[in-house]
Amino acid sequence: MPYVADTIAHLNRTSPAQHEFYQACEEVLLSLRPLLDNDPKYRKYGIIDRIVEPERQIMFRVAWVDDRGQVQVNKGYRVQFNSALGPYKGGIRFHPSVNAGIIKFLGFEQIFKNALTGLAIGGGKGGSNFDPKGKSEQEIMRFCQAFMNELYRHVGATVDVPAGDIGVGAREIGYMYGQYKKLTGSYEGVLTGKGLKWGGSLGRKEATGYGTVYFADNMLRDIGESLEGKQCAVSGAGNVAIYTVEKLYHFGAKPITVSDSSGFVHDPAGIDLELLKQVKEVERTSLAEYAKRRGGVRFVPVSDYPAGRNLVWSVPCDAAFPSATQNELNGEDAKELLKNGCTLVAEGANMPSTQEAVEAFLAANILYGPGKAANAGGVATSQLEMAQNASMQQWTFEEVDSKLQRIMAGIYQSASETAREFGAERNLVLGANIAGFRKVADAMIEQGVV
């Protein structure tokens, strides 16, 4: 597959030291081999060379003043990757790990994830290396306002509609939206994840976690099984993980783990959802506090993890829901999961499994839902928020949830049917990548070389 090696070598030269971006590109390109071998038009029109390059990369300085009166400076990013199917759509991440390569990998994944939803949205991503942890409300507000002072020039309801991501929740969206409105004098749906009183959608907060569980349910129902009674390991303790836990209970499953940057909790009786929400959503503290208040649980601090391992995946389970961050589950973790009887992995985070882990899951022929398919419920519901804003309506929670269930079933059907079309039944990595790529690439060809 010389085109894969050539493309990755080219990206190494032109976009140096962006390893997560190379990983995302390689994973997609390797999956596309059967399509590219069968249909030369994608090579003829230079789609591969075009699709791995963002249409626009915006990098900017974010200067703000902390509570001591000291000027702080962070880096800001917005990568507008592909608009063949609609306005750029993708979250904003505030985390110290954010750099150009992270944002590009996320934006590249977003292209195909958004295409799989069947909705009219392109792919983009943004963020900053700002860390909200330990900051006061006033510092977070000042940073969000400073960030929007630059970003507002590049976004709009039919241009680019950002949402939240790690470190960016309803509070941060509110501060950014208020500043956008002040700068532009325009009240429009330029951000999603807004408050319910001013344009937000019921169900958006729950959507990524709920959608991941709906996707897992579709995988199981296709082989005559269900989630009921299954022991489920969940990583993360943010928005995605919390609502994955909630929806697993709705299906009669038992979520037994959650994790954060301090360590992980194993709760054999089942995660106490209300306590988890209190600790993480209200008090915004670590899972060590959950363990203090909840009897019969095991808390393992990160300092006790062996080098290169994530011990949350050492807990025996029937199904795993990696819902924290990229590359949190490596080849050794995958072997441990498989050894302990895990037969389903549904990714709530973006690219949480390394390539070695993905290969192990595929080789074991377990049910494996890659992130660009399994966690697309969040961006799908963001687009539903855009539709409500455009028509000046607010749908009920039941309406939004019903649409989300249909979208996730459609994503599963598209990925599984495409996998079968190319003789790779159960390989939803190949199915999702080809289905998403084909839709975007055909639109690019029809719109000319732009």
CB 260 within 8 A of CB 284: no
Quote the tokens at residue 230: 């299954």
The values of phi and psi at residue 271, to 5°, are -55, 130
Spatial separation of the C-alpha atoms in residues 417 and 411, rounded to whole Å: 10
The two three-digit tokens of residue 374, written as one number: 């399994």
**Angle between the 100-116 and 19-31 helix axes, to the nearest 10 degrees?**
30
The CA–CA distances, whole Å, from 338 to 162, 255, 324, 327, 373 equal 37, 18, 20, 17, 22
Please indicate whether residue 194 is annotated as part of the active site: no
Burial of 416 (0-12, 13-18, 19+ CB in 10 A): buried
Report the phi/psi class of residue 395: left, alpha or beta, with left for phi > 0 and alpha for psi in -120 to 50: beta
Q: Are 123 and 107 in contact (CB under 8 A)?
A: yes
CA–CA distance, 232 with 248 (Å, rounded to integer) = 8
Contacts of 186 (CB under 8 A, 6+ apart): 180
- DSSP letters for 290-309: HHHHSTT-EEEEGGGSPTT-
State the residue for tokens 């909200």.
Answer: 132
Residues 6+ apart with CB under 8 A from 446: none
- Candidate list 125, 230, 254, 372, residue with the active-site label: 125
What are the E-state strand segments in 26-94?
A: 56-65, 71-82, 88-94
CB 88 within 8 A of CB 126: no
Residue listed under structure tokens 């939240």: 164
Q: Which residues are catalytic?
A: 125
